């Protein structure tokens, strides 16, 4: 969406509010179709998938470039700040961009970010000229430290990566949005259904990043299209200012006085 509802990432204007990951699709052709169906402008790509100079990696990279989208390399799989920094530096050379989705994983079962390593790496990368997109938790203190480290946006999770659970902690997500009204917030990880995306967009989040929810769907292309519609609907719903919930019913067609033309005696049974 454009015009009266602008969105920028590090000064770059964005029309689409759906970002798409590129891992685990059934085939490169389906990935390309899903990118088009999602109408997205940004896709995330793991350097580790492209490393090594393999022909498969070159073919994949060519396919992504042909879609015309912007590439956001990530540091997926990194367990330490040092490893993430080195991966980001290599990604800048390979993909010729200073944008980086920063991941520093601290726990194996949930793939929860190591927030200490994340802040350390973010500070070093921002000082080195990177535009950092940090994959983080919904913790307010961590968010503040990432912004202080030089990040201009935040990418909090809704639930563990690939879980499809949706919004594990709606209260924390609302609090994050309320505390940082001027900071672009992108929900990253854990969404499984279009309704989940609509819900976070109705909270006022700026965008959504998906991968597994689309790539592992029965029909990834149709699911990409469904999420694109849900993200737009959620954003429009937020901008339209939904009604305040009430405890009691309120008739949508209120009755004022008596029915027209009725006489009191004739209304009795």
The encoded tokens of residue 186 equal 């992108």
Catalytic residues: 101
pLDDT of residue 4: 58
8 is in an annotated binding site: no
The encoded tokens of residue 170 equal 């709606």
Edge-to-edge strands, sheet with 131-136: 155-156, 131-136, 99-102, 70-74, 42-46, 18-21, 207-210, 186-188
Phi, psi of 188 (to 5 degrees): -130, 120
With beta carbons less than 8 A apart as the criterion, state whether 42 and 19 touch: yes
pLDDT of residue 2: 42
pLDDT of residue 3: 43
168 is in an annotated binding site: no
Rounded Cα–Cα distance for residues 230 and 235 (Å):
8
- Per-residue model confidence as pLDDT tens digits over 166-179: 999 999 999 999 99
pLDDT of residue 66: 81
Rounded to 10°, the helix 115-127/140-149 angle is 20
Nearest Cα residue to 184 out of 236, 143, 225, 126: 143
pTM value?
Answer: 0.87
pLDDT of residue 58: 61
pLDDT of residue 216: 95
Phi, psi of 89 (to 5 degrees): -65, -40
- Each residue's pLDDT, cut to its tens digit, for the chain (269 residues) gives 444 578 999 999 999 999 999 999 999 899 999 999 999 999 999 876 555 444 555 667 777 778 889 999 999 989 999 999 999 999 999 889 999 999 999 988 888 999 999 999 999 999 999 999 999 999 999 999 999 999 999 999 999 999 999 999 999 999 999 999 999 999 999 999 999 999 999 999 999 999 999 999 999 999 999 999 999 999 999 999 998 888 888 887 766 665 555 555 555 55
- Per-residue model confidence as pLDDT tens digits over 5-43: 789 999 999 999 999 999 999 998 999 999 999 999 999
Pairing of strands 7-9, 12-14: antiparallel
190 is in an annotated binding site: yes
């Amino acid at each position: 969406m454009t015009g009266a509802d602008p969105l920028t990432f590090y000064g770059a204007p964005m029309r689409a509010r759906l970002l798409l990951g590129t891992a685990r699709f059934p085939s490169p052709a389906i990935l390309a179709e899903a990118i088009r169906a999602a109408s997205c402008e940004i896709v995330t790509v793991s350097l580790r998938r492209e490393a090594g100079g393999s022909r498969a990696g070159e073919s994949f990279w060519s396919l992504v470039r042909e879609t015309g989208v912007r590439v956001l390399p990530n540091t997926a799989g990194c367990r330490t700040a040092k490893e993430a920094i080195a991966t980001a530096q290599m990604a800048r050379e390979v993909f010729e961009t200073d944008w980086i989705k920063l991941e520093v994983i601290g726990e194996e079962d949930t793939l929860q970010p190591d927030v200490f390593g994340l802040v350390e790496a973010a500070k070093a990368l921002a000082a080195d000229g990177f535009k950092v997109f940090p994959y983080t938790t919904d913790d307010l203190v961590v968010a503040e430290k990432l912004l202080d480290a030089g990040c201009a946006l935040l990418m909090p999770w809704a639930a563990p990566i690939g879980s499809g659970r949706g919004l594990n902690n709606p209260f924390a997500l609302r609090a994050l949005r309320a505390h940082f009204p001027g900071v672009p917030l992108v929900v990253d990880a854990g969404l499984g259904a279009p309704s989940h995306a609509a819900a976070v967009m109705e909270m006022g989040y700026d965008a959504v990043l998906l991968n597994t929810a689309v790539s592992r769907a029965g029909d990834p292309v149709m699911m990409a299209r469904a999420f694109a519609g849900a993200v737009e609907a959620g954003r429009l719903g937020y901008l339209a200012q939904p009604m305040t919930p009430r405890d009691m019913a309120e008739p949508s067609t209120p009755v004022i006085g008596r029915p027209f033309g009725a006489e009191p005696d004739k209304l009795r049974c």
